[in-house]
Chain A
């Protein structure tokens, strides 16, 4: 008995020692390439030029999405991100001495962006998408740093994360990083602050690195890391479906490159209007991107896609689901049209709407229940408010309507049960 205990104690000691060795040797930051230029001796002109380039890096990286404060101050922090383990709040990344990042060097910023490790060695939660940003070019990082340091400091304290045990133990993230943090690329990266002839390569960098699209659009495993074999295949996050945006997934719902460019650049396409957490992506990020970069993103996302094959409308749904047809005419057709044609500047067409096509009814159910606020898109483009209908439809009526929309325009012949429709969040 005593012998067994000794062996157990020995094993435990071995595991602890091994863990410490692994922790020290492998989980810290890796190599940091030299700065792209002499940042300590920039002329005023060079600094202004870099700040301008850095602003574009910040836009395409959509820093504001998470680092905005609830009262709308860019970069002052406090935007909540809901995870299965609790809530994390975006931090203050203004150059405030007490609450922000005024003490960061450009190397420090690179360590954060690529390795998820803050000055002083503490680990960031991967809600900060360093698993995507890890391939940022040193020149893009340096331009971003110059721009960040040129912003007005905002004296707003950070709000601590509210995570359940053991996810609140930051040092444990070292072991998560050991498994899931990608290595930085071997070759120097061609960032966006340098001209790029190769449109596909630029699109890949915008989508996979700065745009960090896969952070929402890729399903996650039990450790909340992205599943490498299901890249961009769609994921439910913060009670909304971030859909499949693989070339095949997009083509199945009728997307082509032109539609995708309109959607990303203007927030609107025949497939619908930006909703849920994608609308802030338009407001803070994609509407500021150059048409060339939007085209690069669309080209990369649609590369080798099969020809678009959106579902054919099924007029037989009218007879198949008379109750749903009646609710549609009574509550929806006034704006969306009896045949789903929609109205310019008012309401989206439903006969090409992507939300009816998803297998998961989540987004459709939430939009009908909660409505959509009026949208100011780009230029003069507007979409009016869609009212919430949760008080006008009981569960059976909502189910009939959701099924009707899916059956008439979404290519779904089968009806979902009341439970499948109503057991959705919201």
Chain B
């Protein structure tokens, strides 16, 4: 680890973090877990391949997913991110009152067992839903778009299908995300 330090601040889940001096080669994942105690973002492969560590980066061009295990604080400095802790609505005591539709759909579809990959899937599916709010797709293309968006996330338990179906259902059942006629077969699971 480098002994050169970098003064870092960023926006995490809508709140600006206090500036802190960090080793300049620290990865974003370690900052989240060790400095902010946001342990929901998971360390998987450590090489940017499995996307268990993915979070949403609110880029000027719209939300995008970045793997935090290989993304350094040097790049993240000054940017805005959402982690799995930041998606749900909470009351004043911090208790969850309302999940995101994507989170609820993953529960309803029994999408995960061990859950290690889930935060990454939530990030990828949520970023997709938000992209479709800005630019809907034709209903017949939804399955392809979902597969493309979640294809980088690796899961070892449930075999992907339940994640894919859950995300597809959220998109088909949310007005404004798709164009074209609703077919009865669309929402069958």
Q: Considering the complex, which residues of chain B in the window 24-49 have a beta carbon less than 8 Å from any beta carbon of chain A?
A: 24-25, 27, 47-49
A400 to B145, CA, bound (A): 34
* A159-B56 Cα distance, complex, nearest whole Å: 46
Scan residues 341-374 of chain A and give those whose CB is less than 8 A from a CB of chain B: 343, 346-347
Instruction: Give the Cβ gap from B141 to chain A, nearest Cβ, in Å.
Output: 21
A329 touches B25 (CB 8 A): yes
Q: Which residue of the partner chain, among A331, A343, A384, A391, contacts B71 with CB atoms under 8 Å?
A: A331
Complex contacts, B25 vs chain A, CB 8 Å: 329, 333, 338
User: Do B24 and A334 touch across chains, with their CB atoms under 8 A apart?
Assistant: no
Interface segment among B72-80, B94-102, B116-124, B167-175: the answer is B72-80
List, in ascending order, chain B residues with CB within 8 A of A387's CB.
48
- Supply 9 A–B pairs (Cβ within 8 Å), ascending by A: A326-B75, A327-B74, A330-B71, A330-B73, A333-B72, A338-B25, A385-B49, A387-B48, A391-B64
Contacts of B149 in A (CB 8 A): none
In the assembly, what is the distance between CA of A346 and CA of B46, in Å? 10
Asked if B74 and A330 make an inter-chain contact with CB atoms under 8 angstroms apart, the answer reads yes
Q: Which of B47, B74, B76 contacts A335 (CB 8 A)?
A: B47
Nearest to A328 among chain B residues (CB) is B74
The answer to whether B2 and A338 touch across the interface, beta carbons within 8 angstroms, is yes
**Nearest Cβ on chain A to B87's Cβ, whole angstroms:** 23
Query: Is A384 touching B47 in the complex (CB atoms < 8 A)?
Result: yes
**List of 5 A-B pairs having minimum Cβ-Cβ separation, nearest first:** A330-B75, A334-B70, A329-B74, A330-B74, A338-B25
**Chain A residues near B64 (CB, 8 Å)?**
391
Whether A384 touches B49, Cβ cut-off 8 Å, given contacts A333-B25, A338-B2, A338-B25, is: yes
Does B69 count as interface, using CB distance less than 8 angstroms? yes
Nearest CB of chain B from residue A275's CB, rounded to whole Å? 18
C-beta contact mask, B1-38 vs A, less than 8 Å → 1, else 0? 11000000000000000000000110100000000000
Q: Are B49 and A329 in contact (CB under 8 A)?
A: no
Chain A residues closer than 8 Å to B27, beta-carbon distance: 334
Q: Please indicate the chain A residues that have their CB under 8 angstroms from the CB of B70 in the complex.
A: 334-335
- Closest Cβ neighbor of A386 among chain B residues: B48
Contact A334 B74 (CB under 8 A): no
Q: How far is the CA of A321 from the CA of B49 in the complex (A)?
A: 29
B71 → A minimal CB distance (Å): 7
Q: A334-B27, A338-B2, A338-B25 are in contact. Are A329 and B72 (CB under 8 A)?
A: yes
Given A329-B24, A329-B25, also A334-B76 (CB < 8 A) = no
Classify chain B: how many residues form its interface, as a range: 10 to 19
Nearest chain A CB to B44 CB, angstrom units: 13
Extra 4 A-B pairs, beta carbons < 8 Å, given A334-B72, A346-B47, A385-B49: A330-B74, A334-B27, A334-B47, A343-B47
Give the chain B neighbours of A343 by CB distance below 8 A: 47
Main secondary structure of the interface of B (DSSP, over half): loop
Whole-angstrom distance between the Cβ of A135 and the nearest chain B Cβ: 46
Contact A330 B76 (CB under 8 A): yes
Task: Report the separation of the CA atoms of residues A346 and B47 in the bound assembly, to the nearest whole angstrom.
Answer: 7
Q: Which of A333, A384, A385 has the most CB of B within 10 A?
A: A333
* A334 and B2 within 8 A (CB): no
Contact of B48 among A326, A327, A329, A335 (CB under 8 A): A335
Interface residue from B2, B47, B49, B75 paired with A331 (Cβ < 8 Å): B75
Known contacts A329-B24, A329-B25; is A334 also within 8 Å of B71 by CB? yes
Q: Which residues on A sit within 8 Å (CB–CB) of B48?
A: 334-335, 387
Chain B residues contacting A385 (CB-CB under 8 Å) are 49
Picked from A329, A331, A334, A338, the residue with its CB within 8 Å of the CB of B69 is A334
For B73, what are the chain A residues with a Cβ–Cβ distance below 8 Å?
330
Bound Cα distance A347, B70 (Å): 12
Residues on A with C-beta less than 8 A from B47 are 334-335, 343, 346-347, 384
Residues A290-343 near B (CB distance < 8 A): 326-327, 329-331, 333-335, 338, 343
* Residues of B with C-beta under 8 A to A329: 24-25, 72, 74-75
Which residues, 51 to 103 on B, are CB-close (under 8 Å) to A? 64, 69-77
Write out the residue numbers on chain A whose beta carbons fall within 8 Å of the beta carbon of B76: 330
In B101-120, which residues have CB < 8 Å from any A CB? none
Cβ of A329 to closest chain B Cβ, rounded Å: 4
In the complex, which residue of chain B has the Cβ closest to the Cβ of A327? B75
In the docked arrangement, what's the CA distance between A333 and B71, Å? Answer: 8
A331 to chain B, nearest CB (A): 6
Question: How distant is the Cα of A327 from the Cα of B72 in the complex, in angstroms?
Answer: 9
A267 vs B69: C-alpha distance when bound (angstroms)? 27
Q: Which residues of B contact A326 (CB under 8 A)?
A: 74-75
A-facing residues in B174-189 (Cβ within 8 Å):
none
Indicate the member of A334, A338, A391 with the most B CB atoms within 10 Å: A334
- Residue with the greatest number of chain A CB neighbours at <10 A, chosen from B1, B25, B77: B25
A343 to B64, CA, bound (A): 27
CB interface residues, B 123-148, toward A, < 8 Å: none
Determine the chain B residues whose CB is within 8 A of the CB of A334 once the complex forms. Answer: 27, 47-48, 69-72
**How close is A348's CB to chain B, nearest CB, in angstroms?**
13
Measured in the bound complex, the distance between the Cα atoms of B2 and A338 in whole Å is 8
The distance in angstroms between the C-alpha atoms of A85 and B98, with both chains bound, is 62
CB distance from A99 to the nearest CB of B (A): 35
Q: How far is the CB of B47 from chain A (nearest CB, A)?
A: 5
Chain A residues lying within 8 Å of B72, measured Cβ to Cβ, are 329-331, 333-334
Q: Which chain A residue shows the least CB distance to B72?
A: A330
Bound Cα distance A219, B94 (Å): 67
> Which of B48, B73, B75 counts the most chain A CB atoms within 10 A?
B75
- Tell me the smallest distance from the CB of B76 to a CB of chain A, in Å: 7
